[in-house]
Amino acid sequence: MAGTNLNMTMIPAKLKAAKYSTHMVGKWHQGFFDPRYLPINRGFDTSSGFLGGGEDHMTQEAECAIDYWKNDAPDPRNGTYDAYNYGDDLTDIMNNHNVNDPLFIYLPLHNVHAPLQAPDEWLNIYSVNSTCENRRTYQAMVSVADNVTGYLVQLLKKKGMWDNTIIIISADNGGAACGGSNYPLKGCKGSFFEGGVRALAFVNGGLLPESRRGESTDGFIHIADWYTTFCKLAGVDPDDSGTGKFPVDGLDVWPIITGEDEKTQHEDIILGYDFFSRHTGAIIMGDYKLLVGPQPTNCDALVWSPIDYPCTNGTVGPNCDPYCLYDIVNDPTEKKDLSNDNKEMLQKLLEKYNEYSKEPRDMQDQGYHSEGVIPQDPNACKYMAENGGYWRPWKNL
C-alpha cells in the first residue's frame, strides 16, 4: 500500500523528542509495503489495528485477506468487532502507562467507515428503518464510536490524567451520503464541494480553558495544522526542513482554539489537485473557493442531501468542468457559480492553484489496491499467502 514519504517526520516521531509515550490504535492507511512504513517504525511505541484503508469490521478481511496487525506481527484477534478490540488495546495502554510521562494516543477509529456494519446489541438500540436500513446501521456505528471515546475519557480520569489532557476529534473529510447527510451543504466525501471538505472537529479535555467550552470558531483550519499545533503544545520545533524534501505547511491553531486570536492565519488552503487521478482539485482563498474539473456524481455522492438522510434520492449538481467559483462565506451551500460573473477572482485563484500543482509529490505508490486503480504487485499476494492469509510488508525484508 502506498506510504507517506519516509523523508517526512511524522507526529509521533516528533513527540518522542519531548519524551512522549506514543501509541496508535485503529486505522493506519499510511503504507506498509516496506517494514519501514509500519507505525512502530514511524514513531509509535505500540500500534494495533489495520494497515490499509478499510476492512470488514467483523472479520478484518480486506481484498480477500486479513488486514490486522499488532506492532510488528499479525494480530490473531480477527473475528471480533474491531472497535471492541480497540477498547481492550486502550485498556492495556493506560494500565501500562507511567503517569509521570507525557502521553500521545492516535485513535483513528474505523467507525464510521464502509462497510456499514454494527453488532446486534448496538443495532437494537434503534428501530428498524423501512426507508433506509443504512441509516440505522450508521447510527449504531456512531454510538459505538461514542462509547469507545467515552471509555478512553474514563480511563484518563481513572488514571488521574484528565486535567492535563487535550482531546481533539477531527474528521478528515465530509460524510458519505448513503446513511448520513451533509445538509445543508452540497456534496460529500470524494468531492470538493463543502459537504466533502468542510469537516467537523471539536476539542475537549481538562486543559481546554473554561471560557471556551461550548464555543465555536469559523476560522479556516486545515487538518495539516494539527501537526504544528501538537508540536508547539509539546514544546517541539515543528520544522522538518532537515529532511530536504517537503516544508511543513501546517500552522499553530491553538490560539484560535483558546480564543487568544480567532483570526485564521491561512491566506489560502489548497484542498487537492489531480485527486485520485481524476484531474480535479480545489483551492480556498479568502471568501472564495475554486473547484477544477468534474466532481463525482454517483448515488453515493449526491450533491444536495435531504435534511434527514439520503439513500437513493438527492440532487446531482454542476460538475465544474472546467471550473466553479463560489463565495463560501456568503453562499456556503454553493448554489451560485460565480465563474462567469467574477473573472478577476477566477483568474486569481486559478493562478494560485496552478502554482501549487507544480509542487513535487512523492507518495511511493506501491501496494495492493482495487483492480483498475493501481496495478497490483503480485509479490503482495505471494507474501500474504505465505503469512497465513494476513497482509504484511513484502519489500526490503
Return the SS3 of 323: strand
Extract the C-alpha cell encoding 243. Answer: 529532511
Domain count, the chain: 1
Q: Per residue of the chain (397 residues), what is the pLDDT tens digit?
A: 568 888 889 999 999 999 999 999 999 999 899 999 999 999 999 999 999 999 999 999 998 899 999 999 999 998 999 999 999 999 999 999 999 999 999 999 999 888 999 999 999 999 887 667 788 898 999 999 999 999 999 999 999 999 999 999 999 888 877 667 788 888 888 889 998 899 889 999 999 999 999 999 877 899 999 999 999 999 999 999 776 667 888 999 999 999 988 777 889 999 988 655 557 889 999 999 999 988 765 544 444 555 554 444 445 556 788 999 999 999 999 999 999 999 999 999 999 999 988 776 655 444 444 444 455 778 888 889 999 999 999 987 6
User: Does residue 272 form part of some domain?
Assistant: no
User: Does residue 368 form part of some domain?
Assistant: yes
pLDDT, position 4: 85
Distances (CA, A) of 159 to 19, 93, 152: 19, 11, 11
The pairing of beta strand 65-66 with beta strand 73-74: unpaired
User: Does residue 220 form part of some domain?
Assistant: yes
User: Does residue 91 form part of some domain?
Assistant: yes
User: Does residue 318 form part of some domain?
Assistant: no
Determine the Cα–Cα distance for residues 230 and 337; give it in Å rounded to an integer. 37
Contacts by residues 323-328 (CB-CB < 8 Å, ≥ 24 positions apart) = 323/290, 323/291, 323/292, 323/350, 324/290, 324/291, 325/288, 325/289, 325/290, 325/291, 325/349, 326/288, 326/289, 326/291, 327/287, 327/288, 328/194, 328/284, 328/287, 328/288, 328/289
Boundaries of domain holding 34:
11-265+361-386
CATH number at residue 35: 3.40.720.10
User: Does residue 295 form part of some domain?
Assistant: no
DSSP 45-84: SEEEEESSS---TTT-EETTEE--EETTEE-TTTTS-HHH
User: Does residue 25 form part of some domain?
Assistant: yes
User: Does residue 3 form part of some domain?
Assistant: no
